Amino acid sequence: MKFIAKGEDASQQKRGPWEPGYVFEVTADVTDAAGETRTGQQQVSIGKEALTLRLELPELLNREKMPPVRLFSTNATGEAQPARGTLRLYRLTPPARALRPRTWERPEREALSPEEFKRLFPLDAYAREDNDSTWARTLVLTQDFDTEKSTLLPLLATPLAQQAPGRYLLEATASTDATAQPAKTERRFTLYAPSAKTLPVPAPDWFVALQDSVAPGQPARFLVGSSEAGARVLLEAEAKGESLRREWLTLAAGEQRLIEIPVPASLGETQLYVHTTQVRDNRLYTHTAPVQVATPPAPLVLSIATFRDKLQPGQRETWRVTIRQTDGKPADAELLATLYDQSLDAFRPHSFRELEFPKPYHPAALAWQGRFDTQESNELMNQTVAGPNVRDIAYPHINMWGFDGEDGDKVYMMVESVKGNTDLAGMAADEVVVAQRSSSNMAKMRVPPPPPPPSAPPAPGMSDDLPDMDELRDKPANLSGVQARKDFRETAFWMPELRTNAQGETVLEFQMPEAVTRWQLLALAHDQQLHSDLLRRELVTQKQLQVTPNAPRFFREGDQLRLTAKLSNLTDQPMQGTAQLFLLDARTQQPLEGTILKSAANLPFDLKANQSSALAWNLAIPETAEGQVPLEAITYRVVAQTTARNRLSAKPKKRPRPLCTPMGRKIRCPCYPTDCS
């Protein structure tokens, strides 16, 4: 699909320094061979910038512990697009004097000359003097990049570690084609070294926390400094409400000092808070850094053996989950595991959260919050006025005449279906239809029984042995004995509080539901030392031959309709066979093919490898004659089976692989939701 993305006229005046961008929404409705329609939407961003670059690196960069630097290249839609270009590293030259932070915004127009301003306000910035975009820059490094290979820039770490501490600008430029403007991005950062004795840039106040967590018995390290001579900084450290250290620091001009605060092992696991306070030149500089004192947890190693990512619907399966410690020894742990239909994540994502421990809600901070400004008095008034009680207005009720459940009595109809070739006396209530009528002369609702176990004996007339080849060729296929899938549980299992054995193993035994879908396995293991690990796996239940009916949600007397079904070949070999439609009166379980079906019940199919095809049957709903019971609901079932040459294996008298997948539903009159059978 091609279309012209029209925007504003190029002759129109620009409304700012930016280039306009546009978002187009494309909606597609796709109908498959069985008549099922799916809708998808996609937003496409279009602008004059075909390529966008983005650098990812922190504002403060430790030269001695270099973090990874990344460069992302995307198109206007946000999708990754490979790009090649050049990296340039510039060193910025800051002002020689340290400037106080502004207490108000920079004026649009300066009334004083630079000399007069600096004489009256020697500590403040003039015009854009404190803006690093105006500082002089010196090129110190040039390097090529290619985001198609990797978004990481590993070759940049070594040259950066060799640079002197200071303020830097990293610029990335890439060309898209011969006519378009090159894409460009830049990132400013401060490069510092904990071992250096001087500040990287002039600043009246400098504070950096070198870590956010330490183990008991190890020191917590911080950097403090100031460009002013004789700067006085109050350092305080506390834990569990007790002061660990409190002292005044006197710093030289431009000095950077490394502060280490020992953490006693007897303190245990707690939260350490470090505060620094400095008052200078009518400015208050305070910093609070929390440090978690805790032993790094040794996570568990959770693995699963004999895991298969493709299973048959209704198949019994056994998994063996092994939980070990980091040293390989078996762990005495507890396991929580579940297997659910992954389609549920569309409504709300499901996951197990890692173990979290309560932390102080109010972090420790200095009680004195000083400020240097003026305050004006404020008048407080309570303007809450008690008003009269306004009652809800009750409007007259509209008679809905039974539509959407209004003005009607809910009644329930029990629908019984026949098992195999049994008579009506041996009916089993396995289908329940909820009806809505004005009268209530219906049978009482009964709860459907659970599905039969997979090890149940075959139904009458069915056998595990295969017939001879000649018998299959001469006798037409009879698919009436094939049972429809009924177990559509959304959760295969939920197993909390499972214990491991002496080998650190846990056995999961379960039976898959009969739904053909994708499943999500979630497992969480933890031991008494609160070591934990998460496990996530995906698997699919499917059959080699899949049937997906697409029946109408309701019908009316006199309707002529087509019932379609999609047959999918999920193998790499072609398939030929027969599909048969069964129609039953949901109330009496009597066959309706001779009354309703206007085409052949058995239809042949020929499927290519990994392809799908559709079959259709013509139906005509008859009018109810006077004195007859109306047809209120229909139970239908579509069964597909391959021919003998595809179904039989080389060894006779063995159960073949389950290639047929029946699917049944009920459709009702006049317009009620469908129920799976």
Apex CA 441: angle with CA 440 and CA 443, to 5°?
105
What confidence tier does 365 reach under pLDDT thresholds 50, 70, 90? Answer: low
Cα(525)–Cα(520) distance, rounded to whole angstroms? 17
Two tokens, residue 254: 């431009």
Q: What is the pLDDT of residue 542?
A: 87
Q: What is the pLDDT of residue 276?
A: 94
What confidence tier does 359 reach under pLDDT thresholds 50, 70, 90? Answer: low
pLDDT tens readout for residues 104-128: 889 888 999 999 999 999 999 999 9
Most confident of 170-174, 325-329, 636-640: 170-174
Query: What value does the CA radius of gyration of the chain take, rounded to a whole number of Å?
Result: 38
- Choose among 44, 39, 117, 115: nearest CA to 77: 44
**Burial (Cβ within 10 Å: 0-12, 13-18, ≥19) of residue 139:** exposed
The mean pLDDT value for 219-230 works out to 95
Q: Is the pLDDT of residue 406 over 70?
A: no
What confidence tier does 657 reach under pLDDT thresholds 50, 70, 90? Answer: very low
Q: What is the pLDDT of residue 254?
A: 95
Q: Which residue has the higher pLDDT, 35 or 222?
A: 222
Are the C-beta atoms of 296 and 212 separated by less than 8 Å? no
Provide the percentage of residues in the chain whose pLDDT is more than 70: 74
**Burial (Cβ within 10 Å: 0-12, 13-18, ≥19) of residue 79:** exposed
Write 460-469 long-range contacts (CB < 8 A, 24+): 460/420, 460/421, 460/422, 461/420, 461/421, 462/420, 464/655, 465/653, 466/648, 466/652, 466/653, 466/654, 466/655, 466/656, 468/652, 469/644, 469/648
DSSP category for residue 330: B
Q: What is the pLDDT of residue 133?
A: 93
Q: Is the pLDDT of residue 417 over 50?
A: no
Q: What is the pLDDT of residue 492?
A: 93
Q: Is the pLDDT of residue 346 over 90?
A: no
pLDDT tens readout for residues 269-324: 888 999 999 999 888 999 999 999 988 777 889 898 878 888 989 999 999 999 99
The mean pLDDT value for 78-85 works out to 90
Cα(343)–Cα(326) distance, rounded to whole angstroms? 34
- Give the CA-trace dihedral at 170, 176, 182, 188, to 10 degrees: -20
What confidence tier does 79 reach under pLDDT thresholds 50, 70, 90? Answer: confident
Position of tokens 């004059």? 48
Cα(662)–Cα(547) distance, rounded to whole angstroms? 6
What confidence tier does 671 reach under pLDDT thresholds 50, 70, 90? Answer: very low
Q: Is the pLDDT of residue 54 over 60?
A: yes
The mean pLDDT value for 484-501 works out to 88
The mean pLDDT value for 531-546 works out to 89
Q: Which residue has the higher pLDDT, 371 or 316?
A: 316
SS (H, E, C) 198-266: ECCCCCCCEEEECCCEECCCCCEEEEEEECCCCEEEEEEEEECCEEEEEEEEEECCCEEEEEEECCCHH
What confidence tier does 375 reach under pLDDT thresholds 50, 70, 90? Answer: low
Q: What is the pLDDT of residue 11?
A: 60
Two tokens, residue 187: 């990132």
What confidence tier does 187 reach under pLDDT thresholds 50, 70, 90? Answer: very high
User: Please, what is the end-to-end C-alpha distance for the chain in angstroms?
Assistant: 41
The mean pLDDT value for 364-390 works out to 58
Q: What is the pLDDT of residue 670?
A: 41
Backbone angles phi, psi at 595, to 5 degrees: -95, -40
What confidence tier does 521 reach under pLDDT thresholds 50, 70, 90? Answer: very high
Q: What is the pLDDT of residue 104?
A: 86
State how beta strands 310-311 and 316-324 pair: unpaired
Are the C-beta atoms of 169 and 160 separated by less than 8 Å? no
Q: What is the pLDDT of residue 409?
A: 39
Cα(594)–Cα(603) distance, rounded to whole angstroms? 16
Q: What is the pLDDT of residue 210?
A: 95
Provide the percentage of residues in the chain whose pLDDT is more than 90: 43
* N residues, the chain: 677
What confidence tier does 19 reach under pLDDT thresholds 50, 70, 90? Answer: low
pLDDT tens readout for residues 378-404: 655 555 555 555 555 555 655 655 555
State how beta strands 663-668 and 633-642 pair: antiparallel
Judged by phi (left if over 0) then psi (alpha if -120 to 50, else beta), residue 328 lies in left
What confidence tier does 479 reach under pLDDT thresholds 50, 70, 90? Answer: confident
- Write the single-letter amino acid at 205: D
Position of tokens 């498959």? 32
Position of tokens 């992302």? 72
Apex CA 159: angle with CA 154 and CA 163, to 5°?
140
Largest CA distance in the chain: 112
Most confident of 11-25, 34-48, 63-77: 63-77
The mean pLDDT value for 452-464 works out to 44
The mean pLDDT value for 95-109 works out to 90
What confidence tier does 130 reach under pLDDT thresholds 50, 70, 90? Answer: very high
Q: What is the pLDDT of residue 2?
A: 81
Q: What is the pLDDT of residue 357?
A: 62
The mean pLDDT value for 449-455 works out to 45
Two tokens, residue 663: 């699917």
pLDDT tens readout for residues 160-174: 999 999 999 999 999
Are the C-beta atoms of 235 and 245 separated by less than 8 Å? yes
